Amino acid sequence: MIKLIATDMDGTLLNAAHEISEENIKAIKAAQAQGITVVIATGRAFYEANAPVEPTGLKVPYICLNGAEVRDESFDIMHTSSLNHEMIEQITHVLDREDIYYQVYTNLGIYTEDPQRDLDIYIDIAEHAGQKADVEKIHRHIQHRIDQGTLKVVDNYDQISERPGEIVMKILAFDSDIGKIDRVSAELAKHTNLAISSSARGNIEITNAYAQKGIALEEIANQLGINMEDVMAIGDNMNDVSMLEKAGYPVAMENAMPEVKEYAKYVTDNNQNSGVGKAINKMLEEQSK
């Protein structure tokens, strides 16, 4: 019997407008009403993960930055896994050598050395998804993040290490050359102290080896006294695989990568059609029989 549900955000719980549909909200509340814990598991930092959840009134724990940070329903930090100086040097040596752009995620914000590169990346992602990129809208979104302070512009990432109390949680790298991305991913994966995954075409998400959604989800299940056979996990991309592998009821979105669907017991509808809500309702119906 399912007692714990973990759902990814982008491409899964969120639609193209980065909103949670009413069907998804109702399904999550229906599960919670039956005593099922629902966790959001995302590559996003907490301050960006909570933004689309807050208007819904949902109270959920968060697995953020692919497991580098875990928060309870009250937003209190329960666990962190950071990248130390040695790990950061391992990563940046390879990325700089290959001229791959990257952002640095810390416990206090997301850092970029070049907002124009961020704009180019969003345009490239949209175009390769067969969409016409709304450059002005993307530019406003980036500027809004800068104005809010969640995206911080620095001349050099070395400045981050000078800030007391700030720790690096994740490095997110981008390049339109998929061959280069694959080659660099394979090279970084040789470092056993790092976890290498991806949340979209052309990116690499790099965290501490212990910062994985599956590991964080298993820790939450252990704290709640729940067997992993009684856990449902829903996702669409490679950074979701670690939790789909561990969950007894792995679900992939219809829009998931083919490789991700191979790990699923069930493929639900896409994120535009409230696939998360449909999967939860299907599970609840099965359990009521």
Describe the strand order of the beta sheet including 110-112 as a list of residue ranges.
151-153, 110-112, 101-106, 168-174, 203-208, 194-197
Tell how strand 249-252 and strand 231-235 pair up: parallel
The backbone torsions φ and ψ at residue 173, rounded to the nearest 5 degrees and listed phi first, read -110, 150
Which one, of 11, 2, 6, 50, lies nearest residue 272 by Cα?
A: 11
Which DSSP state fits 149? Answer: T
Structure-block tokens of residue 1: 């019997």
Catalytic residues: 8
Structure-block tokens of residue 107: 């416990």
H runs (alpha helix) in 159-274: 178-188, 213-224, 241-246, 258-261
User: Contact 45/65 with Cβ under 8 angstroms?
Assistant: yes
Contacts of 263 (CB under 8 A, 6+ apart): 241, 244, 245, 250, 252
